[in-house]
Amino acid sequence: MNLPKPGALPERARAIASALGVDLAAAAGEDLVARTPVTGEPIAGLKATSPAEARAALSRAHRAFLDWRLVPAPRRGEVVRAFGERLRAAKDELGELVSIETGKILSEGRGEVQEMIDICDFAVGLSRQLHGLTIATERPGHRMMETWHPLGVCGVISAFNFPAAVWAWNAALAFVCGDAVAWKPSEKATLTALACHALWKRTLAGFPDYPQDIGVLLVGGADAGAALVEDARVPLVSATGSTRMGATVAPRLAARFARAILELGGNNAAIVAPSADLDLAVRAIAFSAVGTAGQRCTSLRRLIVHESLREELSGRLKRAYASLRIGNPLAEGVLVGPLVDRGAFEAMQAALAAARAEGAVVTGGARREAPGFPDAWYAEPALCEAPAQGDVARRETFAPILHLLPYRELAEAIAIQNDVPQGLASSIFTRDLGEAERFLSAAGSDCGIANVNIGPSGAEIGGAFGGEKQTGGGRESGSDAWKAYMRRATNTINYSRELPLAQGVSFDIG
Ligand code: NAD
């Protein structure tokens, strides 16, 4: 499997973290263990943020916000531009750390940092475009407009599989919008978060006139996340993770009338229609289904195939899967790295057993041993072929399992695609314009992302990202997602000496 010598990766991770500015001695503790799924070895013991420290950090962030909101937005953008430059310089090292801590292949680790750089560029442009409307008023001598103001301290809770980019999607926008950001990263990817935070702090130190606590980090598990969710000084929480987490967080935020951006589980599908270009489709399907070892929120989990293509596509996918190199994600040519931990492997095996019990024929899915590393969890990607969509396919299993389901008519394929509780990403492979347009229409895919002739995974930052139903309904990153990080005021100005009332109401006090 071409794995590094024992101890080599933890040492490399610590060296990168230090080089990026993490004070490992100050971060050391016994509350959490940073580890690498590549070998299953521990990297460092870390201390969590205590509830008192979390409250103090939120107080500092709130005070910083009160000053930051007064800095003109294009000046705020200059700080984000400097951060993007720092990320460019750190791309290789930070990308490698992401790969070591999550197990994603090196080009994906670096791609994650590129995504951070891209959103910084986007946010810098946005810092000169935080515009409101001027609206026609019915009253003479009046003007009506809307103004966008900074919101406050924005909470960000992130998942293990995008340990850096999800924070950047939120933080780069929130900072140019004039907000402070309190980040609770995944307890499975704390070292990457410490490195990102150190890079941010170093950047901000180059702007000594600005408040230095607009970005604070709360380290820990669900408890540290709850500290954010419960704090009245946090008017918005953007939470990325499982639907189970969202179901806990959302009602608590609603109870105190805070805003929520929920980016939760997906159960993404692709339809392969009779006119599809199969060479292109097979490549796109393989990337979407097995990339990141099936641990993307947008990973392809269900393939809805026209019955005329079923045999051919199944054969081609099995051949493509057989040629995949599984192993050390840092090694050249490897495309499938490890699952994040034993729990993920066991969830995959449980899903495959349940699929078999439902009548599916399963190919692949076995464990690939990593000699000398009993706590590294590598698995062959699995294909499950079933005559109809069962309960297992309706659930999100965060592992490389692809369910192949046949269809006859496009309407049936769209119905299968939509017949799951989640609504994140979807796609269709077709050369038929009518089919593509039906899929994208109001009666087509019910997801937040709907693509034609590319897979459901691998979004770029310019579009708004998020999904419907149990995926949570949130949108972040591009398009007009920035509006969620600001509050809108409608202003009416009377520049006349009259006082006409709207709707013709008269109220004459003589
Ligand atoms: P998870 O739900 O276990 O954890 C996510 C984050 O939520 C972690 O930081 C965790 O500590 C925190 N958390 C958990 N319970 C909490 C609580 N009660 N209060 C506050 N915080 C709490 O998810 P994971 O295993 O890290 O990530 C995988 C899941 O994330 C998958 O379901 C995947 O689809 C989803 N995901 C979604 C998106 C998206 O944009 N829709 C992106 C990435 C991952």
The span from the CA of 291 to the CA of 299, in Å, is 8
The answer to whether residue 384 is catalytic is no
Going along 340-497, which residue ranges are E strands?
Answer: 361-363, 367-368, 378-379, 382-385, 401-407, 422-423, 425-429, 449-452, 464-465, 468-469, 476-477, 486-494
266-287 burial, b at 16+ Cβ within 10 Å, e below that, comes to: bbbbbbbbeebeeeebbebbbb
Hey, is 302 helix, strand or coil? strand
Segment 417-442, tens digit of pLDDT: 999 999 999 999 999 999 999 999 99
Residue 504 has pLDDT above 80, yes or no: yes
Q: Could you say which of 108, 263, 380, 385 is catalytic? A: 263
Which atom of ligand 1 is nearest to 467's Cα? 41
Reading the block at residue 395, the tokens are: 């659930």
**φ, ψ dihedrals at 212, nearest 5°:** -90, -5
220-224 average pLDDT score: 96
pLDDT at 1: 79
User: Do 100 and 38 form a contact (C-beta atoms < 8 A)?
Assistant: yes
Q: Could you say which of 297, 380, 384, 396 is catalytic? A: 297
398-404 average pLDDT score: 98
Which residue among 245, 346, 449 is best mutated to probe the pocket of ligand 1, counting the most ligand atoms within 8 A of its Cβ? Answer: 245
Percentage of residues of the chain with pLDDT beyond 90: 99
Going along 62-136, which residue ranges are E strands?
Answer: 134-135
Give the pairing of strands 468-469 and 268-272: unpaired
Residue 458 binned pLDDT confidence (cut-offs 50, 70, 90): confident
pLDDT at 489: 98
Is any ligand 1 atom within 6 A of the Cβ of residue 4?
Answer: no
Residue 2 binned pLDDT confidence (cut-offs 50, 70, 90): confident
Residue nearest to atom 39 of ligand 1 (CA): 263
Residue 123 binned pLDDT confidence (cut-offs 50, 70, 90): very high
pLDDT at 18: 98
Segment 164-193, tens digit of pLDDT: 999 999 999 999 999 999 999 999 999 999
Segment 20-56, tens digit of pLDDT: 999 999 999 999 999 999 999 999 999 999 999 999 9
Secondary structure element (H or E) that encloses residue 301, with its range: strand 300-306
Residue 510 has pLDDT above 80, yes or no: no
76-83 average pLDDT score: 98
119-128 average pLDDT score: 98
449-456 average pLDDT score: 98
pLDDT at 331: 97
Determine whether 134 is exposed, middle or buried from the number of CB atoms within 10 Å of its CB (0-12, 13-18, 19+): exposed
Residue 89: CB atoms within 10 A of its CB come to 10
